[in-house]
Amino acid sequence: MMKLKTPSKKRVLRELEKREPKLVETGKKTLILHGTKTSNVLNAVLAEIYHLKRGSALKYSKKNENVRPFESGGETSLEFFSLKTDCGLFVLGTHSKKRPNNLVIGRFYDHHIYDLVEVGVENFKSIESFSYDKKLTPHMGSKPFFAFIGEGFDSNEELKHLKEVLLDLFRGEVITNLNLAGLDRVYLCTAVSSNKVFFTQCAIQLKKSGTKVPRIELVEVGPSMDFIVRRHRQPDDRLKNQAMKTAPDSTKKKVKNVVNDQIRGKRARIFIPDQKVGNVALPHKAKGVKRERREAKMKDEETREPAGKKQKDNGN
């Protein structure tokens, strides 16, 4: 039998507890790595994504030849990196003649590849190419807005899938309370065509409007690029069902035989046991019967005592 080794150091135990499955995820780390061959444009794109995800990303600078997510057997190295770094997302940059400036964005579940989206990068502009007031630079820990413009994000399956992956990639840590001052940027995603999306980042600038509500202006701070959707792979149904499971609400008490119907509303079934009124025997020692017998006995004693005395006096 295999022996289960428990960590002897507290530091190792705390690290293992962090990697345990959680009912509610608060954030995902992103793994950024290079493929067999990359270009200068891809190197700059990966560096910009790492800059936007600072604090929740891990970047590998070496080239990886055996990483091919869309090919059978090519995802083994990625799953090993996910197990090693405990990352839930990855961004892979590859460059070839058939697919130049190729970017693969994917998600993991239980250290296995969940889904994949492959896009090509065109018209890339880095943050350094934009001129703006440096006070508008997004601060560390701020939360972004997302604006998806275009009907393709609701009707096209490829763009819908890209929307889900981008939201999961840039949303950062999940929090419950937020200061409005921390909402200082917005990501704009515009569907230009059925497979082309314009992506950029803008800073939010508040101007005076003469009222209590300020006037909002957007200042493009970069980076900006065009995404050409090439290939995508939806998650497997079995794996998707496992990933979508939610923990039952322990605080909510389950009510039996109650159904919520959208048309009829809340319905319930009531079970009434058989009363068996005719077959139920009355108890022998009822309180009312005892009281009646006691009162009748007392009356008999009162009536009998005077009669006995009279008969005794007449005999004498």
Q: What is the DSSP string of 154-204?
A: HH-HHHHHHHHHHHHHHS-S--S---GGG--EEEEEEE-SSSEEEEEEEEE
- What is the C-alpha separation between 35 and 67, in angstroms, rounded? 6
Contact 35, 46 (CB under 8 A): no
- pLDDT computed for residue 93 by the predictor: 95
- What is the C-alpha separation between 119 and 38, in angstroms, rounded? 14
- pLDDT computed for residue 83 by the predictor: 87
Give residue-wise pLDDT tens across range 231-241: 999 998 888 88
Residue predicted with more confidence, 122 or 261: 122
Domain of 199? 25-235
- What is the C-alpha separation between 155 and 216, in angstroms, rounded? 30
Percent of the chain exceeding pLDDT 70 equals 88
In a domain, 16, yes or no: no
In a domain, 14, yes or no: no
Q: Tell me, what DSSP letter sits at residue 139? A: P
| Torsional class of 19: left (φ above 0), alpha (ψ -120 to 50), beta (otherwise) | alpha
In a domain, 222, yes or no: yes
Number of other CB atoms surrounding residue 309 within 10 Å: 9
- What is the C-alpha separation between 199 and 193, in angstroms, rounded? 13
Give residue-wise pLDDT tens across range 98-144: 999 999 999 998 888 999 999 999 999 998 888 888 777 777 667 88
CATH code of the domain containing 147: 3.40.50.10480
Position 250 confidence tier, pLDDT thresholds 50, 70, 90? low
In a domain, 256, yes or no: no
Mean pLDDT (the chain) is 84
What is the average pLDDT across 24-35? 86
What is the average pLDDT across 145-153? 92
In a domain, 240, yes or no: no
In a domain, 276, yes or no: no
Kind and range of the H or E run holding 313? helix 287-315
In a domain, 186, yes or no: yes
- What is the C-alpha separation between 90 and 59, in angstroms, rounded? 10
Global pTM? 0.73
- What is the C-alpha separation between 65 and 76, in angstroms, rounded? 12
Domain count, the chain: 1
Q: Residue with structure tokens 């807005």? A: 145
In a domain, 309, yes or no: no
Residue predicted with more confidence, 47 or 297: 47
Residue 270: which residues within 8 A CB-CB, separation 6 or more? 257
- pLDDT computed for residue 33 by the predictor: 94
Exposure class string for 233-257: b at 16+ Cβ within 10 A, else e: eebeeeeeeeeeeeeeeeeeeeeee
Dig out the tokens for 314 from the structure.
């007449």
Cα distances (Å, whole numbers) of residue 185 to 135, 141, 165, 170? 12, 12, 19, 12
Give residue-wise pLDDT tens across range 217-235: 899 998 999 999 999 999 9
